[in-house]
Structure 1
């Protein structure tokens, strides 16, 4: 099976919903301020997997969402757009913080429009997300999404405090992964379940699925930064290394390192003293200690937990697609 096939199958399954979601996104990105519209257009063209809003839409259907065929902006579609705005806002802010020049294979927004514009348009998208939540009117949706927003910010701050610190524990690293990635995956699934007004057990099962899928997703992202083809990845390989970020592959390589290798990691990560050859040497040490394989094995543990959570639902084509997406997440190349 093509490793991209499960995602494409889910996109095909939800094609009508995603078309409506994209319409809502484009409509809500309109602004009387030209710079906002220009930067928004750049984000739309850049695209992306749109996995988080897909999860919202799919979760609603898995829980039996009944849609009015005459409604051009159904509830689950508007909530999916809300999730995408929130995600895109965090990406804009992350690229500024990380000084990233590439996003999804093209110049990042901050590379084209500057840091100030990216931060402010990110704020604009946060506001749009909360407008959509307010229009939805559910206090439970607002509580879930606002909590996810706070958790994302906490995750990014925690990552910043851990930067360059090789004494970081794996459990602390997982806290960061949950905060910066898994919390929004969980919220994406949960608000889809809420749109369907399903049983609390369904909602909880999808929360578990989303959390574990997000954990797997971020672990694979961290592995790709030390193993991917830059053109396929769509962002600069080795950014985590240059920024001194503590990720699972580094923790594994450092744990297994001999005395000389530990000195290398301490120089390049903790002291931030790097030269042109250091990234390639880091790659070789990552390979030597099979750190990528260990990271992917850990990602598969989380992916399997995500699949296990789906046992709560009766077998169906959509449930199978959810399971395939979890496996695809571990095997993806970008």
Structure 2
């Protein structure tokens, strides 16, 4: 009797205890890349490990750079009618979708549980995609100090908020010290001259997997628009979560046959930087609509989903937005 009561309490009090995810298959691969020749560099001599033997490496020769890592999971049963791509933003990796700073399940789990075959990637030069010699091939990378995402991603209430420990009213991002430190552990450097490599790798990914629905965040949203302009045949739907840039406006008509959804969280129009970014996205969206395309622009607070930072998928109410995306994709006939 007591055990039955405990079980009933757990079912009511712990909705996170969901049924296990059943996978038909999973794995990973690398795609894309190009060859680069390096010459005129001195031989490097070093001791690779304690107790090892000295090693000589001649850095001159052919390098493969610009490859991208992809991890896929195919659930059983599968209800998504096309693969679902999850593309991250600048200074980040595919971890964006795998978990949250306070340990909750990420959007990867959300969409797997609903039967989507999901593909999570680390863009070129990030995470498990490897990198290249700098400055010989890629320019020197840029790094983010801890205060930067706090203030730039609309977690804190402006300049100096990280030092103060203050946040925007109603903020939903996990801001306790342990959680924010966990977030900063996943922040990676990014290089500034790799855009063409990134776009080429995303095209190689879609060519390998096939036409897909793409969910892209921040810088990934700008890449998604640009990839779609080059290869619209590889997109069945495009969901842009606070895209940090746009495609080429003069080529907006190339996107007219792809249904598109834009999503924005709180305080965007009041932020000096994000208001400009959103205004540019609205102008670009208008150009797509003028060419006969469909672009739906969703302001989450107007839908009753409030307190979202730029990292919407990591906010405590992130699954509400994931459900909005799920319903939109289903409405496009991409889920059964």
Alignment TM-score, normalising by the size of structure 2: 0.29
The structure with more radius of gyration = 2
TM-score (normalizing by structure 1): 0.29
Greater strand share, structure number: 2
The answer to which structure, 1 or 2, has the higher relative contact order (CA under 8 A, 6+ apart) is 1
